[in-house]
Amino acid sequence: MSPAPRAGPHRKGLRRLKVNGVAQPAPADPRRLLSDHLRHDLGLTGTHVGCEHGVCGCCTVLFDGAPVRSCLMLAVQAEGHDVTTIEGLAASDEPLHPVQQAFHECHGLQCGFCTPGFVMLVVGLLHEHPDPTPEQVDEGISGNLCRCTGYASIRRAVRRAAELTQK
């Protein structure tokens, strides 16, 4: 998990964020959390908010390709960076992203609330470790919580996602 970046210098004029490859206006309130901006201002509700303290990982998004907790970042900190949410992995008319496909195939979810955070975390994990060892999988997913499963199906999904991304 990458640390949240420091806020950049204040610049006059409209601030823009790049979310899922599209330039978006930054919130007027510089204290707006990235998670709240994504959900409430941009309507990207796939990013879930569970604890608002960075503990559960439900709000995980990719920040320049690295997984971060969006509830711990101010939206203005994302200015000049690429933010990818679960909605940005695959368009609705496209096949599922390999990690999404693996979670589907391996039943790596139950209620689904934590799933977007896990999927985004695993995308980042596989970018860093394309063929992770079981220890790397355990370490990689240890920062996200699932209150429904015993994590076995999530571990299987990570291994399957590694297979699918190497094809």
Superfamily of the domain at 16-88 = Beta-grasp domain (3.10.20.30)
pLDDT in tens, 136-165: 999 999 999 998 877 999 999 999 999 999
Q: In this predicted structure, what is the pLDDT of residue 4?
A: 58
- Tell me the C-alpha distance between 45 and 99, whole Å: 19
User: In sequence order, what E strands does 34-149 have?
Assistant: 60-63, 66-69, 82-84
pTM: 0.89
Question: Does domain 98-166 sit in CATH 3.40.50.2000?
Answer: no
Q: Are the CB atoms for 76 and 51 separated by under 8 Å?
A: no
Domain boundaries, the chain: 16-88, 98-166
Give the list of residues 6+ apart from residue 79 with CB closer than 8 angstroms, or none: 8, 15, 16, 17, 26
- What H or E segment, with its residue span, contains residue 24? strand 22-25
